[in-house]
Structures are given as C-alpha cells and as structure tokens.
Amino acid sequence: MVKKFFTLLLASGVLLILSGYSSGAILPVSSPFKLGDSWYTKTDTWYSIKPDKPDVSGYALNIPANFSVVGGEYYQNDQSFADLYFQNVNHSNLTYFGGSYLLESGFFVGLHYLEVGPTTETLLAPGYRFKINQQGYVAVSFDYLSNDYSNTHDIVGFDLDFKLFPKNMKLSGQISLPNQGNDIVINLDTNYQVSNSVVVGADYLSQGSDNAYSAGLTYTVQSFIIDATLGKTFSENYYQLAGTDHLKDFSIGALYQKYQHNSDPIVTIQGKYHLAKADLILKYTFENDTYDQVTVLAYEKKL
C-alpha cells in the first residue's frame, strides 16, 4: 500500500498538469515553485540571497510500495535548462521532459512533454527575458497546450516570471493568467539577509480562493546550518526543522516535518560525500504508520 508520502509527492509534481494545472511557465524541477519535496537534494540552505549557480544533477528515488523515479537536470538559468525523468507507479510508467533555451537576443522557448500510459501532453512556451542588472530578470511568455486527456489544443495562458536582487535580498515570483476560465495562480518568494549568519524568508501561493504560505529562517554557525519553517498548505498547517553539519570531506544532516492532520512526522536523514565541485548524496526517510520509507541517491556537480 502506498502511503501518505506518495500522495504528497504527486500533489506537488507534474501529474497536476493532467488535471488542468497546465497554466504556468515551464520551470526547472529544482525551482521553488515546482517541487521542493523533502526528497529533493540540491541545497541544505532553505533561505538564501545568492543567485542560483549552473549545475548538473542526477537522482534515483525508490519507495518499496511499487514506486520509483530516475531523472536528471542540466541547469544554466531559469530560461536555459533541461529536465528528464521517468516514474513508475504500480507498473504504470510516466515520462517527463521539460526544457528551455535562451537566445542572446533575450527570446527563449520552453517545451515540456508528459506521457502517462497512452495519454500525452505537450506545452510550448515562447517568451522574452528582460535582463535586470547582472543576475536578475523579468520574463514574459505564453503557453500553447496540446493535451489528449482534456482534448485541448490552444493557447491556455500567459505568464510573468521575475527574479530580482535588491541589496541584501532576493525576490522571485510567478503570475500565471489562464486564458480559459481557470484561476489566476500567484507565487511569491522573498529572502532577506539579516546578518552574516541569518537569512529569513517567506513565500505565498494563491490559486483562486485557495492560498498557502510559509515563513522561516536559515541560521549558519561555522560549519553547521539550521533551517526552520512554519507554514500552511491549502488544507493544513505544518512545520519543518533541519540541521546539517558540513565537515571537510562529507556532511550529515536530518530533517523533521510535521503536518497538522497526521499524528506521525516525516523523519529524514542525509549524508553527502564531497568531491571536487560535486557531491554524492544518500537520503533516507523512515517508514511509519502514515508515511512510506523513501531512499534517494543523487549526484550533483557545479559547472
């Protein structure tokens, strides 16, 4: 039996696309507006004002209850990246490709392809990126959807994405305006550096009458990082607490998550072995009466 963890994973993944969640610019899987589940491995620092760095990564996830994922990502920036992953659930396969290519002129084109059994979906998202200073941008695009499941072949929405770096801050967001009566989706995320050791942050998601939000901080003490978040999903409150100790050749950490409507927490431990500009990562979530055991193996390299 696949337990709650699997439900949470799908709730924030690309399967929402097939149920009408197709409006929205094509983003990297590593975007804070995309997944952000506890199995993801790219950072031990939840709140930061630093720009994202180019990297390449690969990962494999396994839940003994007939669920597995294998995938990878090449990332240059939010408009130049490629994601590919394969998912198997109870012997049913899902294939996902998402990517975007940015021209020197500022024009870009994004594409994603999703296949679930005999059902396919293709989303084409061309747009233009306005460069703001060295790392910031404002991007506008539109979404053309071809979806067998809903028999849709049309422009379904328009998107505004931005990432800005004022002094001691990082601001990012996405506003998706649907073309066919669906709810406007607003994602906002802000990070502010209070001191050399403390960065605070907050995010907000609105979809029609539903909203979710969270706030928290990252506290760094020499080699030790503490992350904490309080928040609300569309349906329940939650909190998360993590700690990671970065040693010379490896790092170890733990994550504790508690959701209001479940008596059991999600408890995860993680180890990283540091190579030259790369990490080998092993992550393990303990099984209990509510959540599945989850094992993740990943490789990440800075470019």
- Residue 16: what pLDDT? 40
Q: How far apart are CA 107 and CA 102, in angstroms?
A: 6
Q: Are 94 and 116 in contact (CB under 8 A)?
A: yes
Q: What is the mean pLDDT of residues 267-283?
A: 92
pLDDT classification of 24: cutoffs 50, 70, 90: low
Q: Are 49 and 168 in contact (CB under 8 A)?
A: yes
Task: Share the mean pLDDT of the chain.
Answer: 86
End-to-end CA distance of the chain: 40
Greater confidence (41 vs 86) lies with 86
Contacts 24+ apart (CB under 8 A), 170-176: 170/48, 170/49, 170/50, 170/51, 172/32, 174/24, 174/25, 174/27, 174/33, 176/23, 176/24, 176/25
What's the number of domains the chain is made of?
1
Q: What is the pLDDT of residues 74-125, one digit of tens each?
A: 999 999 999 998 988 887 888 999 999 999 999 999 999 999 888 899 999 9
Q: Which amino acid is at 45?
A: T
- Residue 268: what pLDDT? 92
Which stretch of 18-32, 45-59, 141-155, 160-174 has the lowest confidence by average pLDDT? 18-32
Instruction: Specify the CATH number for the domain of residue 142.
Output: 2.40.160
Structure pTM?
Answer: 0.87
- Residue 297: what pLDDT? 92
Distances (CA, A) of 187 to 52, 69, 75, 113: 18, 26, 21, 23
- Residue 40: what pLDDT? 59
Q: How far apart are CA 68 and CA 260, in angstroms?
A: 27
Q: Which domain holds residue 179?
A: 4-302
Q: What is the pLDDT of residues 195-212, one digit of tens each?
A: 999 999 999 999 889 999
| 90 SS3 class | coil
